[in-house]
Amino acid sequence: MAGRTNASGVADAGAKADSIRQRTLHESSDQGCLPVHNGVLPSEEKVPQKQSGSQCSLHVWSRKTLLNRKDIPKHLQFNPYIETGYRPLLSAWGCIMSLFYFHNETINIITHGVPMLYILLRWKTLLPWSEITVPLLPWTHLVSTVSPWVGSTIYHLFMNHRAGESCYKSLLHLDMFGIWITQSFGALTTVYASVFCLSETLIWKVLVVYCFVSLWCLYKDLLAVLGGFVGALRVPEKWIPGRLDLLANSHHIMHVVVVYAVYHLHQGAVLDMVWLSRNTTCTLVQSEAML
């Protein structure tokens, strides 16, 4: 009898332990995460409502939930040399929570998210407002400097949203639109300063032509989105595949270089706006022309 009682107790204890383990896994899993198998997202009808997928059975903040390239959808496999560190398909909240653990998009989010927050929080100190009297240009400049960081941060944060490829393409277009705003309106201050000493008629003609050329470039940029990804050099991760998945790959380097470039664009624009506000050079040139 004692043997049977001990065996029964062990069995009950084992069953209780299994029950606790299953309940813990279920409660700790990310409810916004959908399973992915070989890059294919199953239909919602096939996903059990009370079970999380095999790729999402661990806590969403755990680094162990990160996937290999072969385990994510095809539209996210655009860099063949980044092999690991991919987030699973997540809900919007799951994407936001991915800010709190390290993955292969973390550096991309930080390098453009920090400049975005800095500009939005400290815009009053970015320009010498007391020295600038020209209208519109200061605000145009601020919009052009913050736009690429807004689009890029949103794109990299939500690119693995479970809505799929259509959502990804919309986010990519948003990213490209932010870049276009910087390329077009970021140079507007310099263009205006370059023609400032011309007649008012010529100034407006130059600005109108510039705006139409910028719109044409926007159209061409949207068509070239896919080609831009395919044609990238992928250096240095091309030389050591899988070694730079989380840090220092080509996209990370590009993010840092772009921030540095826009910083110098900002410095030049400030000088141009101060010069335009003082407006002494053109007066001197016109006076000499009259003599």
pTM of the model: 0.74
Decide if 85 is inside a domain. Answer: no
Decide if 12 is inside a domain. Answer: no
Report how far residue 96's alpha carbon sits from residue 186's, in angstroms, rounded to the nearest whole number. Answer: 30
With contact defined as beta carbons under 8 Å apart, do 100 and 110 qualify? no
Question: Hey, what's the torsion of the CAs at 56, 57, 59, 62, to 10 degrees?
Answer: -70
Decide if 67 is inside a domain. Answer: no
Q: Give me the numbers of helices (H) and strands (E) for the chain, helices first please.
A: 10, 0
278: Cβ–Cβ under 8 A, 6 or more apart, which residues?
Answer: none
Decide if 264 is inside a domain. Answer: yes
The overall longest dimension of the chain from CA atoms, in Å, is 123
Decide if 281 is inside a domain. Answer: yes
Count of other CB atoms within 10 angstroms of residue 163: 13
Count of other CB atoms within 10 angstroms of residue 51: 14
DSSP secondary structure code for residue 124 in this structure: G
Establish how many alpha carbons lie within 13 A of residue 112's alpha carbon, considering only the half-sphere containing its beta carbon: 29
**What's the confidence (pLDDT) of residue 237?**
85
**Residue pLDDT tens, the chain, 291 long:** 444 444 455 455 555 444 434 433 333 344 455 555 444 454 444 444 444 444 443 344 444 589 999 999 999 998 999 999 999 999 999 999 999 999 999 999 999 999 999 999 999 999 999 999 998 999 999 999 999 999 999 999 999 999 999 999 999 999 989 988 988 888 888 888 888 888 778 887 887 887 777 666 655 444 444 434 433 578 788 889 999 999 988 888 888 888 988 998 899 899 989 988 887 667 545 444 444
Domain with 168 in it: 101-290
Report how far residue 108's alpha carbon sits from residue 133's, in angstroms, rounded to the nearest whole number. Answer: 37
Decide if 248 is inside a domain. Answer: yes
Q: Which two tokens stand for residue 269?
A: 């624009």
**What's the confidence (pLDDT) of residue 22?**
40
Triad 151, 258, 247: Cα angle to 5° = 90
Instruction: Count the domains in the chain.
Output: 1
With contact defined as beta carbons under 8 Å apart, do 171 and 109 qualify? no
Query: Does the bond joining 236 to the residue before it have cis omega, within 30 degrees of 0?
Result: yes
- Residue labelled with tokens 């400290």: 122
- Residue labelled with tokens 């991309």: 108
How far out from the chain centre does Cα 202 lie? Answer: 39
Decide if 140 is inside a domain. Answer: yes
Report how far residue 80's alpha carbon sits from residue 78's, in angstroms, rounded to the nearest whole number. Answer: 6
With contact defined as beta carbons under 8 Å apart, do 80 and 232 qualify? no
Report how far residue 73's alpha carbon sits from residue 36's, in angstroms, rounded to the nearest whole number. Answer: 8
Report how far residue 55's alpha carbon sits from residue 270's, in angstroms, rounded to the nearest whole number. Answer: 50
Q: Which two tokens stand for residue 64?
A: 């162990």
Decide if 71 is inside a domain. Answer: no
